[in-house]
Chains A and B, each alone.
Chain A
Amino acid sequence: MQTKRPVISYVLLALYALIVLLPLLDLVSMSFKDLPGIISHPFSIPTSIQWSNYADAWSEGNIGTFLVNTAIVAVVSVVIIVVCSSMAAYVIARFEFRGNQLIYLTFLAGLALPIQMIAVPLFVLMKQLHMLDSLLSVILVYSASGLSFSVFLLVNFIRSVPKDLEEAALLDGASHFQTFYRVILPLVRPALSTVALLNFVSAWNGFFFPLILLSDPNQMTVAVGVLSFVGQYATQWNLLLPALVMVMLPTVIVFIFASRQFIRNMTEGAIKL
């Protein structure tokens, strides 16, 4: 769809890129300013760099603990999801058995399930298991809720890959587990990276379940941690802004590294929505 007037396209597209990037870059730049500089001069380059903002936010605001907790939740959930969903997807995509379609559709149905529909029983269940205020509760909930999209994506991806290689491996006497590990997993790596990325982001950013399941400041993840931080320090922007930057950086960095493959998967039909 090449046309004669790409200039207008470029201008409009660049304008929207600014609308997206400017606030985020400004957040980073403001986080280095002193308090009067933040209020009176938004959108300006800081005149002096206040690294101490970061040190203060880290120590006073407990941000360090929140970051470590969130990293544990996100990484463990991603590992569980990648392992469980790829194994399940392989069987759903490649074996015919009774209940195959039912299991697949049950996973799919989770995509449209409002979280309120499971919130109260999960709260009650975690209370009975004495897991309130434990990171494990949030890890389990994210691992389970991440399965829907991951199974969906991987089943579609595996179905799009020709069967030849696996059949050759099985004929050579490899077990199903070896075939899965040595043939299927390498083949679906592009899709796995998208599964890992999306689940890392949603576990890191997750707000609702930490809100209802975690209330001990030592067991909080960033989303709820920052909420309590604001409750405590209100509009001390010189502490809040560095905290926000530290909370935001991990997902943005992970995304930028994985973005090429992700965009390709999303726009070139690996995921058919």
Chain B
Amino acid sequence: MQRKNRTVIAVFLAPAVLLYLVFIVYPFLSSLRYSLYNWDGVGPLKDFVGLKNFTYILFSPQFAGQFWRAVYHNVYFFVLSMILTSIIGLGLAYLLMRIRETASRWLQVIYFIPMVVPPIVVAYLWAMYLEPNDGAIPVLLKALHLNFLNIAFLGSEQWALPVIAVITAWAGMGLPILIFIAALIGVPSEVLEAAKVDGASEFRTFFSVVFPMIKPTFLTITTLNFVGAFGVFDYIFIMEGTQAGPNYATDVIGTLFYRTAFGGFGTTAQGMGLATALAVLGFIIVMMASAILVLMQKRASADL
């Protein structure tokens, strides 16, 4: 290769690569290292403890319960958002394909708007609607004579997490809709015509013709939902606080990590070493799931 090209390559890559190395790659590697130390974040790293932070998180009576509860909540969040995005997201995308293009474009814009609204706004808006007794939703439920549903949703151990998952789905539906539309555009119309000629009902066509063809996209959505559900933090922190109340009913890896590293409001930080070990465990879960899903997706695409 000519010398000149090498200079060009170096100059053009340098700014992005430097930024990325210093603020993403280096912190990532540091987290791996910190996780092997007992360290409160001040002073030099010197108390090397090997994998003790990990065994403490996974097996100790003091911490394991909190960890597994958080993982369970993340999984719960994932399952719920998967159900919501599959039914509502795919349903809306399917309907959007059947109407006139101009109308469809406008609706796609509208459906995407909540995705750009800051989470802090979404969180307080819905918190206000959910205010016990006076909020719009309790008022509405009372008007419908559904008094038994007049619950302090965000203050209920049973309801808080599913309600926050629904709010998150409300805010995040725009992207899955667009991804499903991109996939549905790719379904050849001859295939649909053929199904129609064969006398297949619309339901039948959808489940036996369309659905198998968009399976790879479905797996993409699953991956996005999984990464999203394991990264969930903003809404829970804003609506339920550092302690992820009521009584830790909404505690997820994100909030547990925050308390462990930074403490706050009645919790003392337990150390940066322990917190990074927690982050590493979360990272391993996300990586393993993504790897499996990407492999499944490759296979599904190859089958088409």
Does A13 contact B202, Cβ atoms closer than 8 Å? no
Q: What residue in chain A is nearest B4 (Cβ atoms)?
A: A176
Does A226 contact B120, Cβ atoms closer than 8 Å? yes
Number of interface residues of A (CB under 8 A): 92
- Selected contact of A120 from candidates B24, B41, B98, B170, CB within 8 Å: B41
Chain B min CB distance to A227 (Å): 7
Report chain A residues within 8 Å CB of B178. 263, 266-267
Chain A min CB distance to B188 (Å): 11
* Stretch of B50-58, B78-86, B103-111, B146-154 with 4 or more beta carbons under 8 angstroms from chain A: B103-111
Report chain A residues within 8 Å CB of B118. 204-205, 207, 222-223, 247-248, 251
- Selected contact of B109 from candidates A88, A147, A259, CB within 8 Å: A259
Chain A min CB distance to B2 (Å): 11
- Selected contact of A23 from candidates B12, B129, B202, B231, CB within 8 Å: B129
For the complex, what is the distance from the CA of A26 to the CA of B136, rounded to whole Å? 11
Residues A91 and B8 in contact in the complex (CB < 8 Å), given A20-B110, A124-B41: yes
Mark each residue of chain B from 219 to 259: 1 if its CB lies under 8 Å from any CB of chain A, else 0.
01000000100110110011000000000000001100100
B49 at the interface (CB under 8 A from A): no
For the complex, what is the distance from the CA of A211 to the CA of B178, rounded to whole Å? 31
Does B97 contact A87, Cβ atoms closer than 8 Å? no
Mark each residue of chain B from 271 to 303: 1 if its CB lies under 8 Å from any CB of chain A, else 0.
010011011101100110010000000000000
A169 at the interface (CB under 8 A from B): no
Q: What is the size category of the interface that chain B forms with chain A?
A: 35 or more
How many interface contacts (CB-CB < 8 Å) are there between A and B?
Answer: 260
* Stretch of B61-69, B156-164, B179-187 with 4 or more beta carbons under 8 angstroms from chain A: B179-187
| Interface residues in B91-146 (C-beta closer than 8 Å to A) | 91-92, 95-100, 103, 105, 107-121, 124-126, 128-129, 134-136, 139
Chain A min CB distance to B81 (Å): 16
| Interface residues in B27-80 (C-beta closer than 8 Å to A) | 27-28, 30-31, 34, 41
- Selected contact of B99 from candidates A13, A85, A113, CB within 8 Å: A13
For the complex, what is the distance from the CA of A260 to the CA of B253, rounded to whole Å? 37
Does A117 contact B98, Cβ atoms closer than 8 Å? no
Does B283 contact A17, Cβ atoms closer than 8 Å? no
B266 at the interface (CB under 8 A from A): no
B197 at the interface (CB under 8 A from A): no
| Interface residues in A76-96 (C-beta closer than 8 Å to B) | 80, 83-85, 87-88, 90-92, 95
Chain B min CB distance to A128 (Å): 11
B211 at the interface (CB under 8 A from A): no
Does B16 contact A263, Cβ atoms closer than 8 Å? no
Chain A min CB distance to B284 (Å): 10
Q: What residue in chain B is nearest A19 (Cβ atoms)?
A: B170
| Interface residues in A19-33 (C-beta closer than 8 Å to B) | 19-21, 23-24, 26-27
Report chain B residues within 8 Å CB of A211. 237
A180 at the interface (CB under 8 A from B): yes
Does B192 contact A1, Cβ atoms closer than 8 Å? yes
B203 at the interface (CB under 8 A from A): no
Does A88 contact B17, Cβ atoms closer than 8 Å? yes
For the complex, what is the distance from the CA of A3 to the CA of B98, rounded to whole Å? 7
Report chain B residues within 8 Å CB of A122. 23, 27
Most buried by A among B113, B136, B181, B231: B113
A selection of 11 A-B contacts at a CB cut-off of 8 Å is A2-B98, A13-B107, A112-B286, A112-B287, A113-B28, A115-B233, A120-B30, A207-B237, A240-B124, A244-B125, A268-B185
Given A97-B5, A141-B23, A259-B109, 20 additional A-B pairs, CB 8 A: A6-B100, A9-B99, A16-B92, A42-B139, A112-B286, A113-B283, A119-B279, A120-B27, A121-B34, A124-B30, A144-B19, A144-B24, A205-B118, A207-B237, A247-B118, A248-B118, A252-B116, A263-B108, A263-B178, A266-B179
Task: Give me the 3 closest cross-chain CB pairs, A-B, nearest first.
Answer: A144-B23, A121-B30, A121-B27
